[in-house]
Structure 1
Amino acid sequence: MHTRKFGALAGLAAAGTALGVAEVVAIFTGAPTSPLVSVGGVVVDSVPAKVKDLAVEVFYTYDKLALSIGTLVILAAFAAGIGVLAIRRRLWGYAGIALFGGIGIAAALSRHNAPWYAFLPTLLGAAAGAGVLHWLLTHEAGDNATAEERRWFLRASGYTLLGAALVGFAGRWWSTRRNVEEDRASIELPTVAPNSVAPLPPQADAALPDLAPFVTPNKDFYQIDTALVVPQLTTRDWKLRIHGRVGKELTISWDELLKRPMIERYVTLACVSNEVGGGLIGNAKWQGVRIADLLAEARPQPGADQVVSRSIDGFTAGTPTAVLQDGRDAMLAIAMNGEPLPVEHGFPVRMVVPGLYGYVSATKWLVELELTSFADFDAYWIKRGWAAKGPIKTESRIDTPRDGSNPRAGEIMIAGVAWAQHRGISKVEVRVDDGAWQVASLLPVPSIDTWRQWTLKWQATPGRHRITVRATDNGGETQTDAVAPPDPDGATGWHSIDIEVK
């Protein structure tokens, strides 16, 4: 019994060493070459779309953290098993480490734009893990070991595992932050011409408790993407290539991009995975260069009805070319709410396209625009069953009072937000229980590309009540009450809350 326990501990220490060494090596080869990152990336890219939807539903924006933790738990179980097998026959332990290394190497080399040396972190980590396993098994404290021998083994294994974990965490932190934050902090944003700034109406924000502010702070803006580790790309290394079915291929550096005319606009972005009443939506002030101006220079050729945007990590989104040329303020954004893009939101450059869900338009860490056609290429989420074109639907949400809350009787304020990007909101109506629809007051907005706050005063009476909201866009279309899930092109239905007035 003692032998199996010590074998499992030896396996854990070996695996911890392997991962710790790999993370340190990844400081020099790049965070995406880490075995945890590369294997996790393969998992993210390979699991069915419904599994991803479930992960977002259950874990919200912490889905990738949950994947990382789950991967570590599975790895720990595998490592413990390797250690137990190695007690019986040491060759089995080495074979298990070799299997672990082979999977990591294959995953690292399969990633988008993987360098030839992507295998090094896993290879060197596996070698270190095998060395630790050999060392510990040589001093293995079996059933006949003395108390002192067992204490030595426990201390050696524990210290090895703890040291490997600390080294691994330090390596991960350093490899993902070593240059980019300093680069971002040094950026001086170019000035935007006065006629290219969209002023914010002074009464756009009701500033009520629990009501989402008109401008979402960067730290609170939702994050949904497929990157297991946030890509780290400096402005020095950034380049944008525009190619494909174009009359003129373009390559633009960061310095060249900053010399181009800039616009500043408030735009609301929404994730297609957002449930009715959900929080995967936010509004920010973006600064950047019009995509239409770049396309005009590149001269799209006949039949090029899709612009495929690519991230540095290989993610793709397909946007209708016509949408990017129809006059809306689609841009390559370099700033968010007056500061350079946060790394988590796409630094140094991302796409912002009013009126489309993010999965077909809002590519972060952007490095490439390819003119092609919908008939010739399916982007990342389209291959997984989502609709090829994702116009945002007319929706609304109640923010206050909160669902399940217990306000006191008397006059209370019902408030929330409504959105129909690039169409705009013309009316919001609220119904209490089975009563008549009441027209809410709408706050002013800088453009039709943002959400709109709404408010309604209500004389609350004691008892249980259900409050429902619906919105109508500027085209006269009222949001449907038909309930539909996010898959394949966005959730629908009216948002309702239940409260009990005291």
Structure 2
Amino acid sequence: MRRLGGTIGTAAARVASWGKARALPGAAIGLITAGLAVGVGESAAVWFGPRTAPAIAVGSAAIDLTPTPLKEYAVRNFGTDDKLVLLTGIYATLGVIAVAAGIVALRRLGIGIGLVAAFGAVGAWAALSRPTSAGGDVWPSLLGAAAGGVAMAVLVRSYQYQPKSPSSPSPSPSPSPSPSSRLPLWAQNRRGFLVLAVGGAGAAAVTGLVGRVAVDRRYDVAVKRSRVRIPAPSVRAPALPAGVHPNVAGLSDFITPNPGFYRVDTALVLPQVDPDAWTLRIRGMVDHPLELSFAELLARPLIEHDQTLSCVSNEVGGPYVGTARWIGASLADLLREAGIRRGADQLVGRSIDGMTIGTPVESVLDGRTGLLAVAMNGEALPIAHGFPCRMLVPGFFGYVSATKWLVDLELTTFAGYDSYWVQRGYSQTAPVKTASRIDVPKPFARVPAGAITAAGVAWATHRGIDAVEVRSDGGPWRLARLAQADTPDTWRQWTCELTLEPGLHKLEVRATDAGGAVQTEARADTFPNGATGWHSVVITAT
């Protein structure tokens, strides 16, 4: 028994010693292999498109597979950085797997290469899982995995090579050459291994960087966007009323500047849509299917219209709301030209990246200003906001009304098709709820005791705002002073004079829409059709 215990202990010590001795080189081999696989995949994406790069393909599939509550958590906690967090997590996970694969490969090369092959298979599957995928989309992941597998085999054989002692006898009269002996002589030593490792790391960096730069340059449409000239609209929006924006420091701009306009979508990389190649199809339950080029869309009568757009993921008092002056062609006119068949009650907009958004047909035809927007705040649509064309229908949250990078409109039924977010549990239709927000003072601000001015915004898109009330510390509601209204499709700004004693105070706000409906106090989550509740801030008067 003592001898058996000693044998087990010796074996365990040898395994531990082997693991420590090979952990660092194994980790290096794994990371170099993974880096080269990703780099080659990035370079191959130059020919197949930016969304086929392995990490992007896997990230896009991960977004689709992520449970809805986790998506809401990401948007709530990371905002527009949620995609950066996702990519960071993907690369970190890949790094951990790569380290493990490299260490294992020093003991069992086949298993290590198998893990590299699995990486390629996952990337290829992710690329094919996209709604707009093509067969060639698998190549960046497969080529990357092939390059990684070769790199791993060469690095492992170089590291494992042990030159024979001059006095050691030959194991057989005519030995077959080992895989290590097939390496160049300079690689059959530790110095050669270091040269290979440094070269592999350099190749990974170069292929990754060159591939990313080449992809960005080849597919970037910023230059073509800058050359787009938006024709003067046939119907111009009235000038903003003089009193539409109270002069209060910290109050949101009435018209949200393009760089500050919120962005919430599932696109891990921004779709780069060439306006010269862009077309829009109108099909499905129509009498006359249509197809328009960008030039033909610009040649139609254009309408200029102010609209507040908000996201269903916006928490009470949240930032995912903004107002812009849009220019676009009438959506209703285009649908009437196509001839809507009886029974069609849903208009499905499809993005070039496969996103689908379903809008009630009746809301497009009831007189509201639904647009195929081509301009935002006096310039062609920013790429992040749907260039060259997006859909806008006032009165609904963006996930049922505002398809970006629009390429297809299908007339169908709600009974026959569920759009992307509906498949994930959101409501089929989601009218914007009456909402209000305190912009000034900010949460936890310290203000002088006495008279202060509170200010903020309220919106009930397509219904309009008739009143805003503010109270402090649960006291009586005070009617706020409303700024001039623009249109019922835009938010309305407000101010309220309050007198505060020294100490801690809680300010609350509620709005009443033009139909007389008062914003509810009842708290509801953003899922499945938008948050409710009163916005409040806690401040200190000194």
TM-score of the superposed pair, with normalisation by structure 2:
0.89
**Alignment match, 1:71:** 90
**Alignment match, 2:65:** 46
Q: Is the 8 A contact 1:198 1:266 kept in 2?
A: no
Distance 1:214 1:174, change over 3 A: farther
Counterpart selection for 2:322 from 282, 289, 314 = 282
Q: What amino acid does structure 2 have at the position aligned with 1:185?
A: S
1:165 and 1:334 mapped to 2: Cα distance? Answer: 39
Distance 1:7 1:142, change over 3 A: farther
Q: What amino acid does structure 2 have at the position aligned with 1:183?
A: K
Q: Is the 8 A contact 1:2 1:142 kept in 2?
A: no
Distance 1:39 1:436, change over 3 A: same
**Alignment match, 2:228:** 187
Higher-Rg member (1/2) = 2
**Identical-pair percentage:** 47
- What do residues 314-367 of structure 1 show as CA deviations (whole Å, max 9, x unaligned)? 110110000011111110111111111111111111111111001111111000
Instruction: Report the 3-state secondary structure (helix = DSSP H, G, I; strand = E; otherwise coil) of the residue aligned with 2:325.
Output: strand
Distance 1:28 1:476, change over 3 A: same
Distance 1:424 1:95, change over 3 A: same
Q: Is the 8 A contact 2:158 2:190 kept in 1?
A: no
Q: Which moved more, 1:430-439 or 1:206-215?
A: 206-215
Work out whether 1:471 is the aligned partner of 2:511. Answer: yes
**Alignment match, 2:104:** 85
Offset at residue 151 of structure 1 (A): 7.3
Instruction: Report the 3-state secondary structure (helix = DSSP H, G, I; strand = E; otherwise coil) of the residue aligned with 1:332.
Output: strand
**Alignment match, 2:442:** 402
Q: Is the 8 A contact 1:3 1:142 kept in 2?
A: no
Distance 1:334 1:66, change over 3 A: same
Offset at residue 139 of structure 1 (A): 2.5
Offset at residue 150 of structure 1 (A): 6.1
2:153 and 2:432 mapped to 1: Cα distance? Answer: 58
Instruction: Report the 3-state secondary structure (helix = DSSP H, G, I; strand = E; otherwise coil) of the residue aligned with 1:464.
Output: strand
- What do residues 225-264 of structure 1 show as CA deviations (whole Å, max 9, x unaligned)? 1111111111012110000001110001111001000011
**Alignment match, 2:215:** 175
1:491 and 1:297 mapped to 2: Cα distance? Answer: 37
Q: Is the 8 A contact 2:282 2:410 kept in 1?
A: yes
Q: What amino acid does structure 2 have at the position aligned with 1:412?
A: I
TM-score of the superposed pair, with normalisation by structure 1:
0.95
2:217 and 2:397 mapped to 1: Cα distance? Answer: 29
Which structure 1 residue ranges, 5 or more long, are not aligned? none
Instruction: Report the 3-state secondary structure (helix = DSSP H, G, I; strand = E; otherwise coil) of the residue aligned with 1:140.
Output: helix
Which structure 2 residue ranges, 5 or more long, are not aligned? 1-19, 164-188
Counterpart selection for 1:457 from 486, 494, 497 = 497
Offset at residue 177 of structure 1 (A): 4.7
**Alignment match, 2:541:** 501
Q: Is the 8 A contact 1:2 1:143 kept in 2?
A: no
Distance 1:206 1:168, change over 3 A: farther
Work out whether 1:329 is the aligned partner of 2:329. Answer: no
1:83-482 alignment, distance < 5 Å: 83-140=102-159, 153=193, 156-157=196-197, 160-161=200-201, 163-165=203-205, 167-178=207-218, 179-193=220-234, 195-482=235-522
Offset at residue 135 of structure 1 (A): 2.5
2:508 and 2:223 mapped to 1: Cα distance? Answer: 47
Q: Which moved more, 1:329-338 or 1:197-206?
A: 197-206
- What do residues 382-418 of structure 1 show as CA deviations (whole Å, max 9, x unaligned)? 0111110010000000011001010112322100000
Offset at residue 459 of structure 1 (A): 2.4
**Alignment match, 2:30:** 11
Offset at residue 209 of structure 1 (A): 2.1
The RMSD of aligned alpha carbons is: 1.9
Q: What amino acid does structure 2 have at the position aligned with 1:381?
A: W
Instruction: Report the 3-state secondary structure (helix = DSSP H, G, I; strand = E; otherwise coil) of the residue aligned with 2:522.
Output: coil
1:450 and 1:263 mapped to 2: Cα distance? Answer: 16
Number of aligned positions between the proteins: 498
1:316 and 1:115 mapped to 2: Cα distance? Answer: 18
- What do residues 449-474 of structure 1 show as CA deviations (whole Å, max 9, x unaligned)? 01111011222321111100000000
- What do residues 60-80 of structure 1 show as CA deviations (whole Å, max 9, x unaligned)? 221111111111111111111
Instruction: Report the 3-state secondary structure (helix = DSSP H, G, I; strand = E; otherwise coil) of the residue aligned with 2:420.
Output: coil
Q: Is the 8 A contact 1:176 1:232 kept in 2?
A: no
**Alignment match, 2:7:** none
Q: Which moved more, 1:58-67 or 1:491-500?
A: 58-67
